[in-house]
Amino acid sequence: MPDATKPISYPGGCLCGAVRFLAHGPPRWVAHCHCESCRRTTSSPFTTYAGYLSEQVNWSGTPATVFQSSPGSERSFCGRCGSPVGFTSVRWPGEMHLFVPSFDDPAAFSPQVHVHTGEQLPWVHLDDHFPATRGRRARGRRADSAPTDCKRPQPYQNA
């Protein structure tokens, strides 16, 4: 039985272990994002984020390299192994969005929603019946001109 009085922290990091993070407490929300920018940055059909306040996240090891993927949006990754490790945007001031699959225990998180399903690949079929927001549809735009990078989902409920 977990001690409810003790805040839980979730460690994680990149593939090679150079970049490490420790997220304190539950995330504000957990969402699957189907947008083209997330698809390209992870080379995966979609990815899953845990939204934290920046002050809930402590970084250690080698500082991540930061890439500006669209105006006001920054994606950080390990400069050694290339793993994406974080996303921030002026759209969500003070928030750090971590990738659930890069946590040491991804199963500890419960996704609640799909965002940007307007950009979902036609061969991705999911039957979790979570609520979905379509976002703005991509029309042959370049990743660095993405008009919307990850829409804010609803607050996190522990599942």
98 sits in which H/E element: strand 95-99
Query: 33 vs 57, which CB is nearer to Zn ion?
Result: 33
> How far from chain centre, in Å, is Cα 153?
12
CA distance 29 to 9: 15
Residues 60-89 that bind Zn ion (CB under 5 A): 78, 80-81
Q: How far is the CB of 4 from Zn ion (least distance, A)?
A: 33
Query: 24 vs 40, which CB is nearer to Zn ion?
Result: 40
Query: 38 vs 57, which CB is nearer to Zn ion?
Result: 38
| Residue in this structure with the two tokens 């703005």, named with its chain if needed | 136
Assess 18 for contact with Zn ion (CB under 5 A): yes
> How far from chain centre, in Å, is Cα 54?
13
Residues 20-49 that bind Zn ion (CB under 5 A): 33, 35, 38
